[in-house]
Structure 1
Amino acid sequence: MDMDSQNLQSILETSMDFWKIVLPSSLLLRKKAKSSTIKIFVTFLNVFLKSVQLFSFWLIILQ
């Protein structure tokens, strides 16, 4: 395994760990949020984080 794919692997693992922490708390925040603006923002953040995770996953696969 070369250096780039090792770096990507560690980035992916970090993002997975980050996702396991962020997802439950953001879902909780969305349930507790009163305004729809916060709900929209949290939903956008979730989608953004998921797409970054998928993108890094595909980079590792394509290596």
Structure 2
Amino acid sequence: MKKVYAKTQINQIAKAVEVSVGTIYLNFAGKKEIMDFILKCTIEPDFLYNCIYCTRYCSSVGAY
């Protein structure tokens, strides 16, 4: 059974994307900011290429 947005916890998101909770909080203030980011990337794919969150995340995992 899928959990709804309101019941989802940051630690569950971190586990699903295989990063630490700390890494999530380095890039996002909370669930709303994560959801906004996902929606923006879905609606406007070019947003991802210039996105500050992507730059921070990629730097934190050594992708840059």
Structure with the bigger RCO (C-alpha within 8 Å, sep 6+) is: 1
TM-score (norm 1): 0.31
Larger Rg: 1
